[in-house]
Structure 1
Amino acid sequence: MTARVGVVTFPGSLDDRDAARAVRISGAEPVSLWHGDADLKGVDAVVLPGGFSYGDYLRCGAIARFAPIMSELVPAARSGALPVLGICNGFQILCESHLLPGALTRNSSRHFICRDQTLRIEATTTAWTNGYAPGQEVVIPLKSGEGSYVAEAATLDELERDGRIVARYVGTAPNGSQRGIAGITNEHGNVVGLMPHPEHAVEALTGPSVDGLGFFTSLLSHLASGSPVGAGAR
């Protein structure tokens, strides 16, 4: 049976169609979810796409966390039952919803960044990264103005200790993210937030690589296995 992956559209989302295409290319069925509907439509997983939800008013993701769709998503994700991938603005929404710790702040350069970025995958037992090898380097696009990950030192130490840092920037973090963090996961390993855009690296014709496809095929492997996920690579 084909896996059904919901892609949420908020006012201001601009990568929802790209995310849906990546889901389709991976072999799953994309399902459109509207921010104003408190209905997940029985999907097997959810992608929160990039963009500028609600115009990034107040803070990036600060209004989206109160969208009706989130009233269904948050408890399902918090229980560990629902795999959720938040990309860029989706990562910001996950932090604002307290599904992931920390926050995404203005890039240290104070400039919007748009570049192909090399990442090192570190946590490989999550629902979204089990198809990668520990330490594997991938190239996917980065495009954000508020992509600098920050958290208290105790939180950063906990993420390190528990293997919950999913990916780091190779070399100096272009946005000033603490400890080079590009993505993290929750304690269950079902919720992943990633600042770069894997959905833009799923076809050789249009992306710098096809390295991003592994996030989506990893999900299918996880769903097919029916096994619980871990927090991260130990």
Structure 2
Amino acid sequence: MKFGVLVFPGSNCDRDIVTVTSGIMQQPTRMIWHEETDISDIDTIVVPGGFSYGDYLRCGAIARFAPVMQAVKQHAAQGKYVLGICNGFQILTESGLLPGALVRNRDLHFICDRVPLRVERNDLAWTNAYQPHQVISLPIAHGEGCYYADPATLKSLEANNQIVWRYCDAQGNVNEAGNPNGSLNNIAGICNREGNVLGMMPHPERAADIVLGNTDGKGLFDSLLAKLPVSV
């Protein structure tokens, strides 16, 4: 599998992704500058975390207009895989690749922590290495990570089983105590109806190396490699 990691002015998690995909997973990986338009050689696009364009106007609001994003939309329409992490999730919602929006955290503070998550779906290319309702721990680092959508969109997400990760407590209970930022329905990550586009606020790439003391995030990358042929 060949990964492509987008690079915007202000990206700061792009090299973290490359460390996982190229270093740990040993897969071909190309860093893609935001002005590029040809990504036809890529199997999985990763839109990384950071502060694209300095988060001016609104997180992801400028990045959505980058030339590469039109190619990402075509990539997704072809059924290929797109992963947006943190700022990448914000960019995917701003671009219309995923519904809803990420707004200011409930307490208006930047949060940097490790939190429990419950796996809501393990039948996706992203999650097949996990068990149903498995509780894992991943880092979060965001000021605008509160997932918001209108009631009709929330109802549609629930009805179509598009919620992939929920914030929870250590026992896997989905409740207010386990919700770090006020996200509606404790939503930490969602996919499109086809399941090939995933957005999530927590950082799996920061929990994929045993040196860091947590490999719960590596399951996402293991899942992908189990789904598609491994490149050598």
Same fold (TM over 0.5): yes
**Equivalence map 1:91-110=2 (5 Å):** 91-110=89-108
Moved more, 23-32 or 92-101: 23-32
Q: Which residue number in structure 2 is paired with residue 204 of structure 1?
A: 210
CA shift, 1:5, in A, is: 0.4
> What is the distance in 1 between the residues matched to 2:158 and 2:207?
27
Match of 2:87 among 86, 89, 107: 89
Q: Which residue number in structure 2 is paired with residue 193 of structure 1?
A: 199
User: Structure 2: which 5+ runs fail to align?
Assistant: 170-177
Match of 1:11 among 9, 12, 18: 9
Three-state SS of the structure 2 residue aligned to 1:138 is: strand
> What is the distance in 2 between the residues matched to 1:197 and 1:100?
18
* Cα deviation 1:188-216 (Å, max 9, x = unaligned): 10000010100000112124x10001111
Give the total of aligned pairs.
221
User: Structure 1: which 5+ runs fail to align?
Assistant: 226-234
Three-state SS of the structure 2 residue aligned to 1:205 is: helix
Q: Is the 8 A contact 1:149 1:182 kept in 2?
A: yes
> What is the distance in 2 between the residues matched to 1:132 and 1:77?
24
Moved more, 173-182 or 120-129: 120-129
Aligned-residue CA RMSD in angstroms?
1.3
**Partner amino acid, structure 2, of 1:77:** A
Are 1:219 and 2:218 counterparts?
no
Q: Which residue number in structure 1 is paired with residue 58 of structure 2?
A: 59
> What is the distance in 1 between the residues matched to 2:39 and 2:212?
30
C-alpha change, 1:78 and 1:41, in structure 2 (3 Å) is closer
Normalising by structure 1, we get a TM-score of 0.91
Normalising by structure 2, we get a TM-score of 0.92
**Equivalence map 1:129-144=2 (5 Å):** 129-144=127-142
CA shift, 1:123, in A, is: 1.5
> What is the distance in 1 between the residues matched to 2:229 and 2:120?
23
**Equivalence map 1:25-40=2 (5 Å):** 25-40=24-39
Aligned residues with identical type, % of pairs: 52
Q: Which residue number in structure 2 is paired with residue 231 of structure 1?
A: none
Displaced runs of 4 or more, over 2 A:
none
> What is the distance in 1 between the residues matched to 2:26 and 2:157?
32
> What is the distance in 2 between the residues matched to 1:40 and 1:153?
36
CA shift, 1:41, in A, is: 4.9
> What is the distance in 2 between the residues matched to 1:213 and 1:66?
31
CA shift, 1:78, in A, is: 3.0
**Partner amino acid, structure 2, of 1:151:** A
